Structure 1
Amino acid sequence: MAVCAVVVALLGVGGLVLGAERRYRQAHCGLSRFNADADTLRTAETGECIGVARHGFTFHSPDPSLDRTLQKIYAQNAVAEQEHQAAPERPFVTLVHLSALLSVSGKLSGQLAYGREALQGAASAQSRQLRSSGATEPILRIFPANAGSGMRFGPRVVEILDRLKEQDPSLVGVTGLDQSREATNRTIRQLTAVGLPMVATTLSADSLVRQSPMYFQVSPQNAREAEVAAAYADHVVRTGAGKPARRVRIIASADPSDTYSRTLSDDVERRFRARKFAVERTSFTPPPPPGQEPASDAPGPGTVGQRSCSYPGVVFFAGRSEDFESLLGGINESCNSAPPVLIGGDDVARLAADADRRGHYPGIPYDFLDFTLGSAHCDGTSELYAELSRLFPEECAKVPNSSLDGHAALGFDAVKLYVNAVKQLREEAAQMPLTPPAVWHAISGVHGDEALDGASGIISFGGEVDRQVPLDKLLSVQRIDKTGRPVQAGFCGRVGGRKQAAWCPALEPEEG
């Protein structure tokens, strides 16, 4: 009986241990407590894996290309740690690439192209640093992090980052961020509260800069995007084929949490009215996430597309790429032989980045705003493409049919801003600790002779103390013609010594 009692007790203890381990795995993305990444990863109530990955976790990615990109970054992190051990006198810094792009629930792998390319740009900047050897050249690590679909769990991830920052003083800032939504605003404010500067890659909503003085972006704001769009539409009305009427229908999301769509549509209305366009607005309801109710009783994007077939003016779409794809589907059903004149905001570039999705409606031409020139060549003629051709040759093979440079270039330049800030601090104050506030201050001084001549255009904060958005940042208009491939229709902004299109708004003078 004594032996039986001992066996029963041992079985009970074993069951408790196994139960505790099962619960731990469920709470930490399926990882055991002995996995090095488990401590900074959490399973959200949506089933998504959120948090920070430092040691090789790929967030259950269904996309082999994204998986290879993450593995390349982790391999480079290992090299960075070895170089730091070999040359401890060089600055050693860590950046966190935080976004919603790793939230793959319900998404096809092709829809991850946009975020994957931004990560590849960041990896290319990291690779370049690993091959640099100067005393002030920083050795760089990058930790991928996921804030969940729509950035909804961003504040929760920042709590993890705050604890990580206390353990790892090399962590100096955040890049990435994704989708201008209310959850993104909360994430920015939370990052400010824990003292981490941010350089966003593709965000554009006007309200973002009001969330924090520690926030910067390498992309233009919606206000500038709207100004360029109105100037281009004016050019199309005066000189384009068919000469549409001086009218615009602005199509925007009815989702109240979509800051991007709301602010872009407001800006577009103001800028088009200033150019004497008659303006009307139409809302659509995006498909809700599983288990949630629709945001409004407005029609879906496909129905709005059908109703736009007979519109005689310009149709401007100020929503998300997946909803623009549905809008194209509606147009294709009702008037593919005579579609309206379509212009999309920059989020449409996510659709253009995926050649397969882009080719679903080859007979419907449209224009969209892009944050780069939209003409990539992996021939080693620039820092970015020299690295891309080395690290991701399979991606370079896709360049003729993609807008790879638009996304990779922004990711590359966001990291370069940090790299240049650290170099400047080491050159001007070698003994100053490389803290997040010091790096933030150095980034704010990027203007004039210190401006970054980046892969996505000139990045200059204009000499104004509180400017957080690049001055006259590059915006191009890309046209998807009937072959389904993007062709540049013109660009506005500062791009080295190149001259912007004649129809563009005038450039602003740089202060100081």
Structure 2
Amino acid sequence: MLDVAAQPPGTDVPALLRDLHRQLSLEAFGSARLRFVHYPLADWLMHQSLGLSADDGRSALVRRLRDRRGPRGATDAVPAGGDAVSILSQVVLWLVRRAVPGVVFRVAVSGRVPGIGRHYRWFMRQQYLAPRQSVTFLGFAERLTAGWRDGEQPDQVAKLLLHAFLEDLRQAYRRRPWRPSDWRRTAYPVLLLDNVAPGSLGHVLVRLLGDVRTETGRNDPLLVVAAADVPPPELPVPHPLADADEAYQEWSEALAEMRRLRRAAAWLVVLRPDAAETGPPPRGGLRPFSAPEPPWWSRRFLPAAVALTLVVAGGAWAGSRWAPGCHPSPTGGRVSVQVVEGECVGYSDRATQIFNNDPGQEALRTVQERIFAQNRAAEEVWERSDHRGPYLTLVYLGTLTGNRTRADEESYVSEREELEGMATAQYALLQESAGADGAALLRIVVANGGRQMRHADRAVAMLADLARDDPTVLGVVGLVESRLSTARALRELNRVGLPVLAPTLSADRIDANSRLYLQVSAPNTDQVAMVESYARQVLKVGEAHVYWTTGEDSSLTEDLYVGTLVDGLRQRFGTRITRLEEWHTGRRLTAECGFGGLLFYAGRWSEFDGFLRALRECGDNPPKHLVADDSVNRYMANPGLRAAAPGNVPVTYVSKAALGTCAALRAAEARRDEARASFLTWIQADNLLDPPRCRPDRPHPVGERVSLAYDASMMVVRALESLAARLHHAGPRQRWEPNSVNPVGVHAEVLRQNAGQGYPGVAGLIRYPPDSGEPVDKRLALLRVERVPDVATDPVEVYHCGTADRPEPATCVAVATTR
């Protein structure tokens, strides 16, 4: 409320506004205090005196404006002495306290950078005092200071102050959907001007207020109630003070129309006190004025509740997709992962995401780190070569999580060995690529399909997106186990057009799930034929007992490897199988003690340890001929498990890569077999596998699956190099364009190269018939260990079938006489 008659002599419009600003700035109206920005700056400028020198005045104004924004801090200069750290810290401190604020201030008052100095920019865009004549805000601000303002029209100055005041009210009452606090203001401010007589200061204020509203065309939320015994004639018709309620109701009903017509008196109500009244009018039944309650969604608790809900929901969502050790990379690369039933599923080509942080799995993590380091090296070599050589990406898709293990137990031996084989292929290409334009470079993406490949569908969906975005992705290596989930993954990979090269999958007819499928190992049909031939020709036995297992939470129908192996044994042995049963943990095997026929274990490696322990009861009378399938390779490659196994039962087991053992590789080196000798050199290197393999001083075994994964990778690499040579026939030094080939074309080239003489793999010759992804006459062998706990003694090859190096009629040969 402003009583115009009570103002001291000499009061002007700026003084009235200062009083009104003081009253409205109080937090006394049931909501947050109004925040004024433009008006205080204009009023502050009017109180500044700069002197008569233009240059000195401009400098003083700049300095005062900067001080008004905040303290400038210390003015000490940068010290001349001290150590480097001290000098650097002082320089940084000086920049933060002096130089940076000065730059920010200059940018703000320039008005040229959006989002900075908006209130300065507003003064240059409003219409009073012709701001464009001043070019910059600093020039305009000078014109408002004491002394320099004398040449301006007083009405223009007053209108500028009013306009700035109303602009602050407009912004304070602007409702933004993202700011609930704006919606808590449910009542507009009201200015009661008492004793507004014609020609009075109140009359001048009302007139100027109407002029500003008319000239700017801007609406504002300030309702002016003018009370006068004899109001000025240009004001609206006054209402008796006793009829204030009716006056308010009439005004509120007409407000929308008056705002639409831009009437100057849209926000003005005039009241006339009754001359007979002395003191406040009787309120009687007058309706009290009170601000409506704000909407429920604008209450102060809501932002906190929404923020908390978003945090909880975001945390739950992130926890469902990511977890410690399972998160996307913030630094780029090919990384896409999510948590599925507690397992980290997805793919990665960077050390920022390494799969499996379980205790005891250091070897699995180490080979991933080696691959990712070689990925960076391959990228650098390709960049330095100006992209002249072919560059491809292969995805390793396997089971990298989900097994229950002890803290000192390595449970992912097969996966680790297959990754080591791919790392060896990658390493070999890095060694030969420095000066050879036609030599390929390999990047490896590691992908996890979860325990027993149960989440392979999720992983494949991510890989499909990767293949669409990255034309260098030409195939998938791995898949580890032949299960229904693996078959589904093969069908999906076939749908998206990605070839699969499986180092160890061998379930019969699994190639029917993908026309782009190629397996490196012989099918179960060949394994069964070899076992039957060994039993008949070498062991000279006719009777066979077969026990099968499928692993945890699986069945014979779901386990395609065990299911087709058991079916093949039934067909091949027929009535000679006198016992065919499922074995499970806790079942005794005393009935097999001293059994002289073939005792065949047709199950998963994870149950073989329990199977051997059950035979421990036989003591000095174990079964004569225990033979196990190739899955047992995973058990035999695990020294921790073998160390605690019984030593009374010799074991003969199927090997898919007997030609890739240390002894076989040394023999190949001696006869100058260049391919296997080179492979031996790579795996003995200091900077590849940990530990290096097949060294004379450290005879660490190479691993069953290392050579198989190496062969799978190199088949794709050589096929791509062949395609690249034909594409670059006219210009061998031209840049390699990944889009010039596609995965289906590379698959066709692999088949073309291996249709005749076959691919000379480290683990044996690889040939494919025209209508199948299963190799023909692939080398298989039977290895024997006399004492399972004796991990320092290499197994002995006792029998093999298939071809090693040349496409010749396949034969089965007994290598040594069994005991």
Which piece of structure 1 moves more, 86-95 or 369-378? 369-378
Deviations 1:222-257 (A, max 9, x none): 00010111111113333xxxxxx4101121236221
Q: Is the 8 A contact 2:798 2:814 kept in 1?
A: no
1:27 and 2:329 matched: no
Which of 396, 400, 414 aligns to 1:114? It is 414
CA distance in 2, matches of 1:191, 1:27: 23
CA distance in 2, matches of 1:190, 1:281: 38
Partner of 1:365: 650
SS in 1 for 2:570: helix
SS in 1 for 2:661: coil
Partner of 1:305: 589
Matched positions, count: 476
Partner of 1:90: 389
Which amino acid is the alignment partner of residue 587 of structure 2?
T
Q: Is the 8 A contact 2:589 2:614 kept in 1?
A: yes
1:376 and 2:662 matched: yes
**RMSD between superposed Cα atoms in Å:** 2.8
Q: Is the 8 A contact 2:487 2:510 kept in 1?
A: yes
Which amino acid is the alignment partner of residue 160 of structure 1?
M
CA distance in 2, matches of 1:313, 1:398: 39
Greater length-normalized contact order (CA 8 Å, ≥ 6 residues apart): 1
Sort the Cα spacing of 1:234 and 1:193 in 2 relative to 1 into closer, same or farther, 3 A: same
SS in 2 for 1:404: coil
1:260 and 2:561 matched: yes
1:13 deviates by 6.3
1:216 deviates by 0.3
Q: Is the 8 A contact 1:339 1:364 kept in 2?
A: yes
1:281 deviates by 4.0
Please give the residue correspondences for 1:148-297 in structure 2 after superposition, counting only pairs within 5 Å: 148-238=450-540, 245-253=541-549, 255=555, 256-273=557-574, 278-284=576-582
Q: Is the 8 A contact 1:251 1:283 kept in 2?
A: yes
1:392 deviates by 1.5
Which amino acid is the alignment partner of residue 517 of structure 2?
Y
Sort the Cα spacing of 1:166 and 1:367 in 2 relative to 1 into closer, same or farther, 3 A: same
1:450 deviates by 5.3
Q: Is the 8 A contact 1:302 1:329 kept in 2?
A: no
Q: Is the 8 A contact 1:93 1:171 kept in 2?
A: yes
SS in 1 for 2:691: helix
Which amino acid is the alignment partner of residue 560 of structure 2?
T
Partner of 2:719: 421
1:37 deviates by 7.1
Which of 466, 477, 484 aligns to 2:782? It is 477
Q: Is the 8 A contact 1:42 1:49 kept in 2?
A: yes
1:422 deviates by 0.3
1:72 deviates by 0.3
Q: Is the 8 A contact 1:201 1:218 kept in 2?
A: yes
Runs of 5+ unmatched residues, structure 1 = 239-244, 285-298, 505-512
Which amino acid is the alignment partner of residue 369 of structure 1?
V
Sort the Cα spacing of 1:153 and 1:168 in 2 relative to 1 into closer, same or farther, 3 A: same
Partner of 1:410: 708
CA distance in 2, matches of 1:398, 1:303: 42
1:149 deviates by 0.7
Please give the residue correspondences for 1:6-17 in structure 2 after superposition, counting only pairs within 5 Å: 15=308
CA distance in 1, matches of 2:743, 2:814: 41
CA distance in 1, matches of 2:372, 2:704: 24
Deviations 1:478-501 (A, max 9, x none): 001136342211222211269965
Q: TM-score under structure 1 normalisation? A: 0.85
1:396 and 2:681 matched: no
1:12 deviates by 5.2
Sort the Cα spacing of 1:182 and 1:307 in 2 relative to 1 into closer, same or farther, 3 A: farther
Which of 797, 802, 811 aligns to 1:493? It is 802
CA distance in 2, matches of 1:248, 1:137: 51
1:502 deviates by 3.2
Q: TM-score under structure 2 normalisation? A: 0.55
Q: Is the 8 A contact 1:250 1:269 kept in 2?
A: no
CA distance in 2, matches of 1:113, 1:425: 35
Which piece of structure 1 moves more, 190-199 or 132-141? 132-141
Which of 433, 437, 449 aligns to 2:744? It is 437
Q: Is the 8 A contact 1:475 1:492 kept in 2?
A: yes
SS in 2 for 1:382: helix
Among all aligned residue pairs of Structure 1 and Structure 2, give the percentage whose two residues are the same amino acid: 26
SS in 2 for 1:111: coil
CA distance in 2, matches of 1:117, 1:149: 17
Q: Is the 8 A contact 1:248 1:313 kept in 2?
A: yes
Sort the Cα spacing of 1:32 and 1:348 in 2 relative to 1 into closer, same or farther, 3 A: closer
Q: Is the 8 A contact 1:305 1:328 kept in 2?
A: no
Deviations 1:258-286 (A, max 9, x none): 1111101111222234xxx71134332xx
SS in 2 for 1:160: helix
Which of 369, 372, 386 aligns to 1:71? It is 369
Which piece of structure 1 moves more, 365-374 or 482-491? 482-491
CA distance in 1, matches of 2:497, 2:339: 26
1:202 deviates by 0.5
1:11 deviates by 5.2
Deviations 1:387-426 (A, max 9, x none): 2222115142799877534210011011011111101111
Deviations 1:329-363 (A, max 9, x none): 10013445433421111101111111231232222
CA distance in 2, matches of 1:172, 1:268: 37
CA distance in 1, matches of 2:343, 2:425: 28
CA distance in 2, matches of 1:421, 1:331: 48
1:124 and 2:424 matched: yes
Which amino acid is the alignment partner of residue 561 of structure 2?
Y
Partner of 2:46: none
Which amino acid is the alignment partner of residue 781 of structure 2?
S
SS in 1 for 2:607: helix
Which amino acid is the alignment partner of residue 796 of structure 2?
V
1:338 and 2:622 matched: yes
CA distance in 2, matches of 1:194, 1:335: 55
CA distance in 2, matches of 1:17, 1:93: 42
Deviations 1:106-146 (A, max 9, x none): 13442212221111011000111122222222111001111
